């Protein structure tokens, strides 16, 4: 029997330990378990407060056979049903972006547009969130669970939701779950490379130790300790993503306060404020542009907006962008080592989950080893994935706000060419799945269904265009109207049955 492939993951945290779990699971399923080692340093602190995921994280959690209630208990995570965007048009209004998709529970008649429910709602000028279970729950503050027999929770619908959590706690919990994964408490001092192939043969560690391996994963975050020396080039997104600093802080929450089931993204004068609830407190931060606001000014604006003092934990530089190649030789970059965008749509962990799934499905060779023939295609697909993240986030700034120098600069110089082209096309025809490349080979991505709430909330879709598209298929229009009304009634009733968010979390803690 051939020896198992030796995989060395550098960096713990969410990305590193997810990689350990997913690669361990995938190689076991292929019948050739790998020997996996995680190199992480206890001397490197974690950065930031609070992080949000997409539903892909929950799908992976359950796919790995991990106990969701234990996860909620041990990490103090909360349920995330979507994002509430406040004041992005400068008029005090807000719109919600629920992450469930009602199209998945209905089969439309032939000829209906792929996004027929969204097209109907836009054309009829009816609220998109009303036909979403998660939209109704966001409005009422409930969890996607009802009280069943003997008080046990019963899921209200078939949709996966997301989480909010403290990433340091999640990293520690995932570490405990990675049974059979070896660990080393060290930092990388250098790379030893094969003279012929250029591949990494071993890592030199602090203190003079070394570790060899067949394949290496860079989960070192901004340091990019492996993929950087391997020759990865940074592609900046500063032309499209206008914030370049983030000031994170915690906010205490009263014992009698309900816990939000959504991420709040509130636009301010030079960027936007996030609020991400964990079970114990709210993780917050101001993502802003320091050309228009100093750190002291940022703190003062946040305190004025919240009506309370804050204690910033840091003031972090944001260098938005991605590496040109996420896989070089025998080194794969994940998480912040691959890309970094402002945290508006929870793209970091989502990207990690999808990239790991793509790599495990297409690059891990049956019977052991890594199929390097997929490397160039993988790099192209991951590049397209992150470019789509960039364009999606850039579109959030297109609501026409012009009440401060920052927002006027955004309108004048931060509209990416791809954003402009897509918005121009969507003024003439509604967004469709075909508008987006299937760069993730069927795995979750930011497609049309996630764009509709944002584009509609910012007033970027033409109701007349949507109405005309459905009018061309009368049966589809009638079906969409009846389905919209039926879903709205059903989900309004379901939301009344829902457990409160805090109540559900208390049950999960007790049942784990």
pLDDT the model gives residue 48? 56
193: enclosing H helix or E strand: strand 188-193
Q: What is the pLDDT along the chain (512 residues), one digit of tens a residue?
A: 368 899 999 999 999 999 999 999 999 988 888 999 999 998 877 765 689 999 999 999 999 999 999 999 999 999 999 999 999 999 999 999 999 999 999 999 888 999 999 999 999 999 999 999 999 999 999 999 999 887 788 999 999 999 999 988 999 999 999 999 999 999 999 999 999 999 999 999 998 999 999 999 999 999 999 999 999 999 999 999 999 999 999 999 887 788 999 999 999 999 999 999 999 999 999 999 999 999 999 999 999 999 999 999 989 999 999 999 999 999 999 999 999 999 999 999 999 999 999 999 999 977 788 999 999 999 999 999 999 999 999 999 999 999 999 999 999 999 999 999 999 999 999 999 999 999 999 999 999 999 999 999 999 999 999 999 999 999 999 999 999 999 999 999 999 999 999 999 999 998 65
Q: Which two tokens stand for residue 441?
A: 């080979």
313 lies in some domain: no
Residue 432 bears catalytic tag:
no
Q: Is residue 308 situated within a structural domain? A: no
- Is 71 contained in some domain? yes
Question: Which residues face 9 on adjacent strands?
Answer: 38, 217
- The residue range of the domain holding 428 is 6-240+319-471
Burial class (CB in 10 A: 0-12, 13-18, 19+), 35: middle
* Predicted local distance difference test score (pLDDT) of residue 133: 98
CB of 13 closer than 8 Å to CB of 45: no
Give alpha helix (H) positions in 149-211. 167-177
pTM recorded for the entire structure: 0.96
User: Measured between alpha carbons, how far is 456 from 467 in angstroms, rounded to an integer?
Assistant: 14
Residue 504 lies in a domain: no
Q: Please tell me the distance from the alpha carbon of residue 498 to that of residue 490, in angstroms, as a whole number.
A: 13
**Among 80, 177, 366, 467, the one annotated catalytic:** 80
**Cα distance between residue 277 and residue 280, in whole Å:** 8
Domain count for the chain: 1
Residue 397: inside a domain: yes
Q: What is the pLDDT of residue 47?
A: 62
Residue 253 inside a domain? The answer is no
Q: Which of 399, 505, 510 is nearest to 80 (CA)?
A: 505
CB-CB neighbours of 481 under 10 Å: 17
Place of tokens 């879903």: 487
Three-class SS state of 290: coil
Which CATH number is 227's domain given? 3.50.50.60
Contacts 24+ apart (CB under 8 A), 424-428: 426/455, 426/460, 426/461, 427/460, 427/461, 427/462, 427/465, 428/465
506, part of any domain: no
Residue 454 belongs to a domain: yes
The answer to whether 298 and 270 have CB atoms below 8 angstroms apart is yes
């Amino acid at each position: 029997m051939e020896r198992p492939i030796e995989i060395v993951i550098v960096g713990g945290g969410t990305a590193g330990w997810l990689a350990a779990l997913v690669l361990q699971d995938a190689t076991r399923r292929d019948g050739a378990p790998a020997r996996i080692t995680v190199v992480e340093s206890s001397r490197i602190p974690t950065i930031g407060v609070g992080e949000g995921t997409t539903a892909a994280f929950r799908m992976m959690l359950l796919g790995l056979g991990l106990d969701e209630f234990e996860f909620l208990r041990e990490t103090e995570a909360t349920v995330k049903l979507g994002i509430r965007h406040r004041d992005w048009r400068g008029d005090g209004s807000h719109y919600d972006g629920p992450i469930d998709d009602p199209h998945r529970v209905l089969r439309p008649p032939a000829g209906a547009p792929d996004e027929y429910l969204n097209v109907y709602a836009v054309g009829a000028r009816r609220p998109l969130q009303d036909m979403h279970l998660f939209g109704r729950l966001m409005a009422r503050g409930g969890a996607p669970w009802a009280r069943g027999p003997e008080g046990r929770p019963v899921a209200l619908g078939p949709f996966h939701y997301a989480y909010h959590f403290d990433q340091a706690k999640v990293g520690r919990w995932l570490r405990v779950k990675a049974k059979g994964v070896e660990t080393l408490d060290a930092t990388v001092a250098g790379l030893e490379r094969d003279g012929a192939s250029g591949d990494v043969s071993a890592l030199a560690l602090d203190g003079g130790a070394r570790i060899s391996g067949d394949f290496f994963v860079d989960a070192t975050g901004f340091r990019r300790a492996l993929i950087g020396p391997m020759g990865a080039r940074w592609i900046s997104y500063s032309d499209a993503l206008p914030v370049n600093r983030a000031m994170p802080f915690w906010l205490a929450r009263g014992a009698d306060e309900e816990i939000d089931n959504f991420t709040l993204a509130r636009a301010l004068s030079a960027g936007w404020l996030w609020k991400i609830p964990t079970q114990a407190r709210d993780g917050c931060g101001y993502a802003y542009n320091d050309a228009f606001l100093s750190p002291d000014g940022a703190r003062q604006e946040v305190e004025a907006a919240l009506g309370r003092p804050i204690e910033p934990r840091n003031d972090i530089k944001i260098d938005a962008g991605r590496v040109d190649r996420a896989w070089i030789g025998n080194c794969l970059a994940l998480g912040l080592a691959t890309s970094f965008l402002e945290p508006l749509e929870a793209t970091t962990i989502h990207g990690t989950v999808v990239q790991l799934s793509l790599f495990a499905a297409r690059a891990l060779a049956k019977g052991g080893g890594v199929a390097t023939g997929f490397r160039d295609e993988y790099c192209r697909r991951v590049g397209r994935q992150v470019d789509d993240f960039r364009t999606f986030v850039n579109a959030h700034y297109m609501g026409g706000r012009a009440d401060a120098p920052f927002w006027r600069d955004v309108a004048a110089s931060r509209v990416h060419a791809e954003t402009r082209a897509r918005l121009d096309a969507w003024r003439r025809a509604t967004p469709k799945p075909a508008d987006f490349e299937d760069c993730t080979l069927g795995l979750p991505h930011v497609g049309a269904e996630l764009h509709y709430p944002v584009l509609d909330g910012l007033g970027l879709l033409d109701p007349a265009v949507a109405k005309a598209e459905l009018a061309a298929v009368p049966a589809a229009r009638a079906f969409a109207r009846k389905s919209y009304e039926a879903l709205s009634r059903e989900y309004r009733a379901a939301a009344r049955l829902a457990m409160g968010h805090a109540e559900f979390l208390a049950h999960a803690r007790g049942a784990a």
